[in-house]
Structure 1
């Protein structure tokens, strides 16, 4: 359906050729825009119906007070099913610290939350297939769990800004959730408007980058510089390239689709996706307001190394 709509708009209405750079790029853009936004709205609405009772405060309270291994597993799992981008995860990070959740556990949540969520997973399956989706999710969960453990070994509490420790947790009145069908519908629709309103520009930007890459970048150049499993420098290059390109797990999918279509190795593509979602420059700037430079450098270093290991590992063992 989406392919037919793109054919109608690009090849009939605009009269572009499928063999031209502009035709290929615009077809990619139209098809992915309609497909991703349709899936995005449907999935967010359905998950909103199911998540009407889940709030950031309940996420925080669920993790607090559990044994460390269970708290870390819970933090990683909750990070994977909550629709927080890297920047919106930082305020919740502060709430975790205020609530006394161990900082290593908190970092595990901060890593998992922007990198994996059910919306991105369903779209990833629809665009790239379940095998690559499973690889991405498994690698992301592992990085989040192990990354938090490594951060904890360095005792990062000493690098948290003083004002965070001084904030007192105020008692807030419990607001009874509206669990009726109408109440859940209102909540789900508000989730669609709020999340799509926050993400649309990044999704469109990601699709546009993917379309330009798909239509204009020669396959020979891609194969020479980014393709091939034996190009070890391509993986750290992809991680560095992803840092300034702020997006989220959903917005980066079209770029990954275009990269794989041009022959970029799976590991290089996964490393690029993870870097954009969890190691973005805006997140680093916001996170600096909470933790000092040593902790920020450690956090960025741990993730960069982990993403490179993921990329090299998948490139090494991919068939």
Structure 2
């Protein structure tokens, strides 16, 4: 137990890095790390370095796993199963695929055109941006393993339930006709060598970091401002755990934004530190990743309004339920 705790603190929470940044702030900048300015700089430097280190390592290993699941192989795996089992498997496969909803939509089109039920593809579409293996590690590094695992479980449950409801409603006719004619190329997948998988993983690290670095910097900057400059009384007055409207308000605030979970984590960290309920913070994260306005605009190009509204409704209700549940029982996990 002691060894696990030490590894968790040093490898995930990176206490060694926290101490180094503290020394840098004190000796290098001549600032008090608990002052507003010093604390903001400390928060920013520490979180940025920690997130980029963890993200690079995690993307590399996740991409290596993902190299075994190209779209054609994933489609073949999913086509072997029906009903709830297919929805569960689709949601699980979403955890090892793209890191934002906009990059998931092309795969959603490919799977739908390949003949997979839309309920199964929607389970994938919900899960892919919402839950991934990297989010487990990053959540554990900021909060703890109980919160991380609980988040993944509820995210997968939401993806499975959402896809199942859409399947039961038989909404195939509300997918744009061109999607069904945009057939996924069925080609024999050449087995990659270990060297090719390593090169692919390295390329994915570079590509994804290039896509998300700005969102991470913005997210950490906002987190630093919340953590050190906005009084706790102001935050709790708006989003305090005792406010019944905090969860829907956080969901509404998150929807117009476009980022991924890596950019929202520092904000959630700062909000929780200021007394915001963990459920409210998670609702904000989920709305940004699953209901971002740019991804909904992209989705509108491939599904008709009724299906889009049902999708938004299901995900929104799911996020609200998850938010209120975590606010009520989250203290047991912290």
TM band (smaller chain): over 0.9
Distance 2:69 2:119 in 1: 23
Query: How far apart are residue 175 of structure 1 and its match?
Result: 4.6
Query: How far apart are residue 178 of structure 1 and its match?
Result: 2.6
Q: Where does residue 177 of structure 1 map in the other structure?
A: 191
Distance 1:163 1:83 in 2: 23
SS at match of 1:186: helix
Instruction: Indicate conservation of the 8 Å contact 1:64/1:99, yes or no.
Output: no
Query: How far apart are residue 168 of structure 1 and its match?
Result: 3.4
TM-score under structure 1 normalisation? Answer: 0.93
Distance 1:148 1:116 in 2: 15
Answering whether residue 202 of structure 2 is matched by residue 189 of structure 1, we say yes
Q: Where does residue 8 of structure 1 map in the other structure?
A: 23
SS at match of 1:251: helix
Q: Where does residue 276 of structure 2 map in the other structure?
A: 264
User: Could you say if the C-alpha distance between residues 82 and 166 of structure 1 is closer, same or farther in structure 2, counting changes exceeding 3 Å?
Assistant: closer
Query: How far apart are residue 162 of structure 1 and its match?
Result: 1.7
Q: Where does residue 102 of structure 2 map in the other structure?
A: 87
Query: How far apart are residue 308 of structure 1 and its match?
Result: 0.6
Q: Where does residue 226 of structure 1 map in the other structure?
A: 239
Matching of residues 201-240 of structure 1 within 5 Å: 201-228=214-241, 230-240=242-252
Instruction: Indicate conservation of the 8 Å contact 2:66/2:96, yes or no.
Output: no
Distance 1:249 1:63 in 2: 26
Query: How far apart are residue 54 of structure 1 and its match?
Result: 2.3
Query: How far apart are residue 156 of structure 1 and its match?
Result: 2.0
Answering whether residue 118 of structure 2 is matched by residue 103 of structure 1, we say yes
Structure 1, gaps ≥5 residues long: none
Q: Deviations over 1:274-302 (max 9, x none)?
A: 11111111110110110011111111111
SS at match of 2:261: coil
TM-score under structure 2 normalisation? Answer: 0.89
Answering whether residue 328 of structure 2 is matched by residue 316 of structure 1, we say yes
SS at match of 1:53: coil
Q: Deviations over 1:134-165 (max 9, x none)?
A: 22111101111111122223322121112112
Distance 2:113 2:325 in 1: 37
Q: Where does residue 58 of structure 1 map in the other structure?
A: 73
Distance 1:113 1:289 in 2: 19
Query: How far apart are residue 246 of structure 1 and its match?
Result: 1.3
Q: Deviations over 1:176-216 (max 9, x none)?
A: 23323x33321221121122122222222211111111111
Distance 1:234 1:220 in 2: 14
**Which of 115, 138, 142 is 1:127 aligned to?**
142
Query: How far apart are residue 9 of structure 1 and its match?
Result: 3.4
Instruction: Indicate conservation of the 8 Å contact 1:23/1:215, yes or no.
Output: no
How many positions carry a matched residue from both structures? 316
